[in-house]
Amino acid sequence: MDTATTAKDRIQEIAQEYAGTVKGFARQVGATPQNLYDIIRGQTKQISPALADKIVRACPALSRSWLLTGEGPKYAQVQEGGGVNIQESRLDNSTVNGGGFITALLKELDAQRAITQKCLAQIDKSQAQIDRLITLLEAERGRK
């Protein structure tokens, strides 16, 4: 579990990680810098659901729940049963700032790789079940 428990901590952490600056991060996610600075200064106590949605659209590896509450894993997880909520990612090259963005991008790619591997495992399992059913149907057809 991550230790960033306040909205201020979470915004500062992800802004640094993804863009290097609050202003760059605001531009990346499509928010106003003032909106983020209000959270950092404590004028706004919570991250709104609308802001969390913007952040997750731009940074799909982040957990919306973690953004809103500070609880649970920082990065989104594959849902039980192999279900995955994939959202389109938008990269804004103007926000590449030092190594922070690259590091965050690599973490995001690792998270997406893990999701893909779990999906592929589920597909393999389903394919094995289909193959068994085909074998049974062919055996039944041979008896007739």
Q: How far is CA 121 from CA 4, 39, 82, 83, 117, in A?
A: 33, 41, 9, 12, 6
1.10.10, 1.20.120, 1.10.3470, 1.10.260: which CATH number matches 7-111?
A: 1.10.260
Q: What is the pTM of this model?
A: 0.54
The CA distance from 67 to 78, in Å, is 17
Q: Report d(CA 121, CA 53) in Å as an integer.
A: 29
What band does 38 get if pLDDT is binned at 50, 70 and 90? very high
- Give 59-115 pLDDT, tens digit per residue: 888 889 999 999 888 887 655 444 444 433 334 444 444 456 677 777 778 778 878
Domain boundaries, the chain: 7-111
| Sign of the torsion angle spanned by Cα atoms 22, 25, 29, 33 | positive
Q: Give the separation between CA 142 and CA 9, rounded to whole angstroms.
A: 67
